[in-house]
Amino acid sequence: MLPFEFVVIGKPVSHQNKVRKRVNEWKKQVRETAESNWNQTTPLGDDVQVIITHYYDADPGDESAVPDSDNIVKPIRDALNGLIYVDDYQITDFISRRRNLNGSFRIKGISPALAEGFSQGEEFLHIKIEAAPDPGDLFL
């Protein structure tokens, strides 16, 4: 059940994209990919933490075509509503990262999902849903 992780191959679409059809197609792609990997019949009822890492392909120093992390989050959260969790109000903790595929990586104990993303040789998102951390724990 948790942690649950999967990758979506391709460049993410910003929620600010003026072409709503592209946003809806992206949400559909995210949801269908999640569905094909999710082995549960009902969404989780507990609080969760979501971690999204966007592995993009850009020349170092020229990230002008890379969408902002905060703009790609909403379509992904919406796509997972009613499938992985009942509603995104259950997300108590959210981490959004960007990493250039042209960088160096030291990966120890790589998950099958992340290995799948790297093996495709193109831009992708790694999405991981975990149980929410204890609310009494402070992150300093």
Q: Residue 71 belongs to a domain with what CATH number?
A: 3.30.1330.70
pLDDT at 65: 72
On whether residue 139 sits in a domain, the answer given is: no
Q: Following DSSP, what letter does each residue of 56-123 receive, concatenated?
A: E---TT--TTSPPHHHHHHHHHHHHBTTTBS-GGGEEEEEEEEEETTS----SS--HHHHHHHHHTS-
**pLDDT tens digit sequence for 14-50:** 887 777 888 999 999 999 999 999 999 999 999 999 9
Percentage helix, strand, coil, to 5, in the chain?
30, 25, 45
Per-residue pLDDT, 84 = 97
> What is the pLDDT at residue 4?
97
Amino acid in the structure at residue 108: K
Predicted model pTM: 0.91
| Total count of domains within the chain | 1
Predicted local confidence at residue 140, as pLDDT:
56
Q: Is residue 122 part of a domain?
A: yes
Task: Name the residue range of residue 73's domain.
Answer: 4-131
Handedness of CA 109, 49, 6, 60 (dihedral sign): negative
The pLDDT tens digits along the chain (140 residues) read: 899 999 999 999 888 777 788 899 999 999 999 999 999 999 999 999 999 999 998 877 777 777 777 789 999 999 999 999 999 999 999 999 999 998 888 888 999 999 999 999 899 999 999 999 987 776 65
Q: Give residue 30's pLDDT.
A: 97
Closest residue by Cα to residue 53 from 108, 85, 97: 97
Tell me the C-alpha distance between 98 and 48, whole Å: 21
Residue 140: inside a domain, yes or no? no
- Residue 66 domain-assigned? yes
Query: Does residue 136 lie in a domain region?
Result: no
Domain membership of residue 33 (yes or no) is: yes
What is the pLDDT at residue 138? 64
Does the residue 9 lie in any domain?
yes
- Is 138 among the domain residues? no
